[in-house]
Structure 1
Amino acid sequence: MEQPESSRPRRTRVRWLIVVLIAVATAIAYIDRANLSVASDQMQQELGFSDELKGIMLSSFFWTYALFQLPGGWLVDRFGPRLLYPLAVLWWSIGTAATALVRGFAGVIGWRLVLGVGEAPMQAANARVVSEWFPRKERAFASSIFDTGSEFGSALSVPLVTLLIALVGWRGSFVVTGALGLVWVAVWLWIYRSPRRQRWTNQAEVDYIEQGGGRTEEKELGDDGRQPMPWRHLFRYSTTWALVAGYTCRGVIIYFFITWYPDFLVNQQGFSLLQLGLFGAIPGLAAMVANWLGGLLSDWLVRRGTRLALARKIPLVVGMLGASTIALASVAPNPVAALTFLTLSYCSVAIATGALLSLPADVAPSPRNVASLTGVQNFGSQLGGVIGPIVIGFLIGTGQYAYVWPLLFAGAMSVIGAAIYAFAVKIEPLDEQRPMLR
């Protein structure tokens, strides 16, 4: 006889604690990578390098971050996020703190490369955790929550690092921000397990996750016998390549805010260091709310019966088109208008995030392909991170029209990205029997 609803144990909500935990890790990662952009003027004065070299320095993190996306995702699928995640955070925390020891341009480049290696598995681990801990109808919002860490970290890095530079100098700022990850590692090792093994979850929550499409490895590999697709076979599909291309376009927008954004406000719009600290966080803080709204919209569409592909593409396409307003900041009549256009752009690209980060779990053929496919997708974002800062640096270096051409370039990339998500990405599980490329 079925147990009455009133007598069933109340479902625990441990999954929300888990997603907050990975959001905190994401925030720490973005503080560590954005520290350099805030401190770069002071470093440039002390170490002595040109704007062109500054662009290369700001881009260098993404060289190894992009390169190690592919092995990083594979390693997460191979060993699981419980082990790989804390090792990655420990690695990148050391790379951040060690930047305080540099004596020249080459040293900065070297430790940024170390930082890139450490942060490479993060996004894949986040996606794997969400795919295991959340049913399909909550996945986009959960993804938007952990990605909120990127906006929060980017926004917090401006006032935090500004304050740290004032108190302990730019070298000390790297030591302090690098130490944040060590605390997180201890908390992660204490708390994190898979849903069936986590001591605080009850069976009601585990059933809710698994019956709603949560991709726990124990269920899909144990009960159904579904085996992961070989890693190299992921590249047989046009959807895989479209995920890379779309994320490359988005990466140009996102990493403008991580690299050249403080320079634009200070050197183009005339912000003082104090004004940068007070107002520079506005786009990132507003984007946090937009990120949640985009994830809620996608999940709401799923719950009301909208096809999964349409529920993901609506926020994706609308968000990427809206992000093109970044181009208007280059011709804004005053600093307030410029900051307004930048905020609108950042909010628009954030609206797309929850749906975008859900895509690997939506199309992966097995739970043990989710992190690998996320790593492949995130490789595209890092291509944008490599290309964007260098192109913008050299366009600025020409001395013509200041930021007009750089921001027109960024706006054009957002429109191209919208077209890719609208027409090239197929949101359905990859089928080993129907590869779309030969």
Structure 2
Amino acid sequence: MMPQPNPTRIRFIVLAGICVGAALAYFTRNGVGPAESTIRAELGISKEQSGMLMSAFFWPYALCQIPAAMLAQRMGSRWALSLYGVLWSLATAGLALGHLAVMIGSRAFMGVAQAGLVPVGTTVMSRWFPKTAQASASGAFSGFMSMGSIVAAPLTAWLVVSVGWRWMFVWYAVPGVLWAIWFAVWYRNRPSEHSSVNEAESELIGEDQTNGTNEPGAVPWRLLIKSPAMWFLCAQQFCRAAGYIFFASWFATYLQEARGVTILGSGWLTTLPLLADVTGCMFGGVLSDAVLRWTGRPRLARQGLSATALLLCAGLIFSAWFVAHPVMAVLVISAGMFCAATANPCLGATVMSLGGPHVATVSATANMCGNLGAAAFPIAVPWLLAHAGGWNAVLGGFGALYIIAAVFWLMIRTNSSLFDHSPKA
């Protein structure tokens, strides 16, 4: 008898590909934050206007989640993500024009172009990975999002000093176009369509049982809207995204104004919580899958782990109030972000479980709500600074968001698909 061939590893190249795309997307979207004070000074705009510039990305990004997922369902993940990559790169280049209205429009268009990244990426993982590895894949995907932010923070600060922020945005537009070309040429929507996938890998993935392999048909919106689990999932995502976006918007300014750190120093220090986010995402995915294998209890592995981690995050953020040294304070906050990040892959695995044949729609709905929170928080910061006690109030609100998110995680009580009782399409 001939020995069975080992499974090929094309699924890991697929994962690496969407991880690189996620890193580039976050790299471009977060390029404004570290340069915020320089852009504000050169253009002569107020902090309120600067907040509008940073938040302009998130409103269309949030509202276009579901349309982008629906378009990707028609086009297929291969062509949709390639198109989105080219469009967000063009929007990045538009920021170099330097007129406030044009920059706000470019940020908004970037939000439209990147709206499909998470729901389509989640669909890709559900098609290319077995259920026992989906949290780990989701952890890598989430981690590379912050990897893009990590690279952006010090590189942006260095380029602002070296070549100016306008040329910085021009250079930032190039990698996304190159990635989109590669993805369009190499990727295939399903393992069975890729010539390099052998039968052993296809069997390991379990393609015939993988979420999203078959056409899902019409979305039963009534079941989705009536589901308490969906509401709680969206609510926790609203709070977590609002908390996370502090690092991509006002954190560098916080370090400069509240802690007396230089622009270059703030650029480097901003990488610490983002690095903690990367490692926390990857660790959380492995840990969540391990807890599921050990206990066989999805609620403990997903909801329980997330709630515990978010409460630990809030406690560490509040404790940073009492740390005077700026580097030590950032390290404490970074430890909190490591804890918070372990919930990211739990969200991805939960969406794949609850989404059934409509993974992209459930992911898009949750991500839409998350980015409404991300859009609101940068605007709320100037109000908190002026009326609620300065940067301490901002830090307090930042920590409180994670406590609220933990409560919503504990309220999610279902181990089955949201659409188990939907009529056949």
TM-score with structure 1 length normalisation?
A: 0.91
Deviation for aligned residue 1:331: 4.2
Listed one character per residue, the Cα deviations across residues 227-279 of structure 1 (whole Å, up to 9, x for unaligned) are 55445642232222111111001011110111111111111111112322333
Determine whether 1:197 maps to 2:196.
Answer: no
Structure 1 counterpart of 2:336: 345
Determine whether 1:384 maps to 2:380.
Answer: no
Return the match for 2:159 from 156, 164, 173.
Answer: 164
SS for the counterpart of 1:314 is: helix
Listed one character per residue, the Cα deviations across residues 137-165 of structure 1 (whole Å, up to 9, x for unaligned) are 10001001011111111111111112222
Distance in 1, Cα, partners of 2:417 & 2:90 = 38
Distance in 2, Cα, partners of 1:307 & 1:434 = 25
Gaps of 5+ in 1: none
Structure 1 counterpart of 2:14: 18
Structure 2 counterpart of 1:264: 254
Listed one character per residue, the Cα deviations across residues 361-392 of structure 1 (whole Å, up to 9, x for unaligned) are 111131xx111111001011101111211112
Structure 2 counterpart of 1:364: 355
Q: Is the 8 A contact 1:291 1:351 kept in 2?
A: yes
Q: Is the 8 A contact 1:62 1:382 kept in 2?
A: yes
Return the match for 2:242 from 239, 252, 255.
Answer: 252
Distance in 1, Cα, partners of 2:208 & 2:412 = 27
> For 1:172-187, what aligned pairs fall within 5 Å after superposition?
172-187=167-182
Return the match for 2:385 from 378, 396, 413.
Answer: 396
Kindly provide the amino acid, as one letter, of the partner of residue 283 in structure 1.
Answer: P
SS for the counterpart of 1:280 is: helix
Kindly provide the amino acid, as one letter, of the partner of residue 280 in structure 1.
Answer: T
Determine whether 1:9 maps to 2:13.
Answer: no
Larger mean Cα displacement after TM superposition, 274-283 or 378-387: 274-283
Return the match for 2:291 from 293, 298, 301.
Answer: 301
Distance in 2, Cα, partners of 1:306 & 1:211 = 23
Quote the RMSD (CA, aligned, Å).
2.0
Listed one character per residue, the Cα deviations across residues 190-223 of structure 1 (whole Å, up to 9, x for unaligned) are 2211211112111111111117953251xx55xx
Structure 2 counterpart of 1:209: 205
Distance in 1, Cα, partners of 2:360 & 2:175 = 25
Deviation for aligned residue 1:337: 2.7
Kindly provide the amino acid, as one letter, of the partner of residue 152 in structure 2.
Answer: S
Return the match for 1:145 from 140, 154, 158.
Answer: 140
Distance in 2, Cα, partners of 1:84 & 1:407 = 38
SS for the counterpart of 2:11 is: helix
> For 1:50-199, what aligned pairs fall within 5 Å after superposition?
50-103=46-99, 105-193=100-188, 194-199=190-195
Kindly provide the amino acid, as one letter, of the partner of residue 115 in structure 1.
Answer: M
Aligned pair in 2 of structure 1 residues 425, 384: CA closer, same or farther (>3 Å)? farther
Distance in 2, Cα, partners of 1:335 & 1:213 = 51
Give the paired residue count: 421
TM-score with structure 2 length normalisation?
A: 0.94
Structure 1 counterpart of 2:311: 321
Q: Is the 8 A contact 1:251 1:384 kept in 2?
A: yes
Structure 2 counterpart of 1:414: 402
Deviation for aligned residue 1:312: 1.2
Aligned pair in 2 of structure 1 residues 414, 12: CA closer, same or farther (>3 Å)? same
Aligned pair in 2 of structure 1 residues 434, 213: CA closer, same or farther (>3 Å)? closer
Distance in 2, Cα, partners of 1:228 & 1:328 = 48
Aligned pair in 2 of structure 1 residues 316, 67: CA closer, same or farther (>3 Å)? same
Q: Is the 8 A contact 2:119 2:361 kept in 1?
A: yes
SS for the counterpart of 2:211 is: coil
Distance in 1, Cα, partners of 2:51 & 2:289 = 39
Return the match for 2:324 from 315, 330, 333.
Answer: 333
Listed one character per residue, the Cα deviations across residues 313-363 of structure 1 (whole Å, up to 9, x for unaligned) are 232112221221323334432212320222012111111111111222111
Aligned pair in 2 of structure 1 residues 216, 67: CA closer, same or farther (>3 Å)? closer
Q: Is the 8 A contact 2:284 2:343 kept in 1?
A: yes
Q: Is the 8 A contact 2:211 2:359 kept in 1?
A: no
**Structure 1 residue ranges (4+ consecutive) displaced by more than 6 angstroms after TM superposition:** none
Listed one character per residue, the Cα deviations across residues 40-95 of structure 1 (whole Å, up to 9, x for unaligned) are 11111111111122222211111111111121222223332111111111111100
Listed one character per residue, the Cα deviations across residues 106-135 of structure 1 (whole Å, up to 9, x for unaligned) are 222111111110111100111000000111
Aligned pair in 2 of structure 1 residues 14, 311: CA closer, same or farther (>3 Å)? same
Distance in 1, Cα, partners of 2:87 & 2:413 = 34
Distance in 2, Cα, partners of 1:139 & 1:392 = 36
Distance in 1, Cα, partners of 2:115 & 2:7 = 34
Determine whether 1:237 maps to 2:227.
Answer: yes
Q: Is the 8 A contact 1:74 1:231 kept in 2?
A: no
Gaps of 5+ in 2: none
Kindly provide the amino acid, as one letter, of the partner of residue 251 in structure 1.
Answer: A
SS for the counterpart of 2:394 is: helix
Q: Is the 8 A contact 2:97 2:103 kept in 1?
A: no
Deviation for aligned residue 1:180: 1.2
Aligned pair in 2 of structure 1 residues 411, 125: CA closer, same or farther (>3 Å)? same
Distance in 2, Cα, partners of 1:117 & 1:229 = 22
Distance in 1, Cα, partners of 2:413 & 2:161 = 47
Q: Is the 8 A contact 1:302 1:311 kept in 2?
A: yes
